[in-house]
Amino acid sequence: MVRPFPVAPNDPIAVVFSAVGPQRSQPNPTSPMLERYSYGTDLFVDGLNGMVYAITLAVPNRNWRGLRVGMSQTNAEGMLAMLGPPREAEPPTDARVLFEESGDETGFVYDGMYLSSFVPHLTGRQLIGGPINLYNDRHHFAEFHSGRMFQKDLKTLSDDEIKNYFRLYNIGAVVAFHPASIERLLSVPGLISVERRIGPVQLMKVNQPLSWFMQGDGKIKAGFNRLELSGLAGREVILKYHWIDGLIASPAARIEPVKMADDPIPFIKIINPPAALILRAGS
């Protein structure tokens, strides 16, 4: 008799216990960060931060979504066709990626480099989190490295504080590696879902409405030294972008800095905006 194995990656470990019984964990022999739950010599479940990370199924009396050891090539290809091709999750383009950087304090997780220095150039995504952990500038308040976010220990932030930061900075995706960061973010009910794992790094989706506007509405296209705004609506518009000295609007509009939350850098307010304008730093 072949029985289904009703567990999938990203399920809570409790689902495994419900399906095949509780088991004491042991370190994974090749990846100590993972906890291994062994059910005999040919069925293993590896967990990370209380969630299923990987399943090793080498027994012929169990199947996973129709796939099992010992089935014919034709049947296996048929089941794979029914499951469909792998889906690559893409981070949203209408929000920022919160990227957890790593330095000396965590052994340069990204192959010995500050990877966030390259991500915006290589991907075209807008980023919070880099490039250098100890960069001494007020603008670096909005950063994320080695378990610390917005210059605070992430574990000390309440659920509401995390949600408010994510809303203020329009965070649509998170790249995190530190176990404490991953555990805390996943503990906020409904906020985060894991899309993919690459070694210790987890790529996460943020489940919240995405908008570049704290107040008002419109569309924004960001480029080098320019924000192109269109379809602006509202007597006052507040953008989820930082104010900088020397900012000018074309056509001319009344713009001013406005303080938000505990960020030392103000954000951009536009009063009685035209339907469309361009913001840039210049003289």
Per-residue pLDDT of the chain (283 residues; tens, 9 = 90+): 677 778 877 778 888 888 888 888 888 887 766 788 888 878 888 887 677 878 887 777 777 666 666 666 665 555 555 555 555 556 667 999 999 998 888 888 888 888 888 888 778 889 987 666 666 777 788 889 999 999 999 999 999 999 999 999 999 999 999 999 999 999 999 999 988 888 788 999 999 999 999 999 999 999 889 999 999 999 999 999 999 999 999 999 999 999 999 999 999 999 999 999 999 998 6
Q: Assess if residue 88 is contained within a domain.
A: no
Identify each DSSP E strand in the chain by its residue range: 3-4, 26-27, 35-38, 43-48, 51-57, 62-63, 96-99, 127-128, 144-145, 148-149, 152-153, 171-176, 192-198, 201-206, 213-223, 226-242, 247-250, 254-258, 267-271, 277-281
- Same domain? For 74 and 169 the reply is no
Q: Assess if residue 249 is contained within a domain.
A: yes
Q: Which of 203, 202, 204, 241 is nearest to 221 (CA)?
A: 241
178 and 106 Cβ atoms separated by less than 8 Å? yes
Indicate the Cα dihedral angle 150, 156, 161, 162, nearest 10°: 70
Q: Assess if residue 54 is contained within a domain.
A: yes
- Same domain? For 111 and 137 the reply is yes
Q: How many domains does the chain have?
A: 3
From 61, 83, 105, the end of a domain falls on 83
Q: Assess if residue 31 is contained within a domain.
A: yes
- Same domain? For 100 and 178 the reply is yes
- Same domain? For 29 and 126 the reply is no
- Same domain? For 126 and 171 the reply is yes
From 164, 183, 206, the end of a domain falls on 206
Q: Assess if residue 91 is contained within a domain.
A: no
From 83, 109, 134, the end of a domain falls on 83
Q: Which of 33, 38, 25 is nearest to 49 (CA)?
A: 33
- Same domain? For 226 and 268 the reply is yes
- Same domain? For 20 and 36 the reply is yes
Q: Assess if residue 90 is contained within a domain.
A: no
Q: Assess if residue 189 is contained within a domain.
A: yes
Distances (CA, A) of 136 to 151, 169, 232, 243, 244: 12, 21, 35, 18, 17
- Same domain? For 258 and 194 the reply is no
229 and 255 Cβ atoms separated by less than 8 Å? no
- Same domain? For 75 and 125 the reply is no
Residue 132: what pLDDT? 66
The residue range of the domain holding 73 is 3-83
Q: Assess if residue 173 is contained within a domain.
A: yes
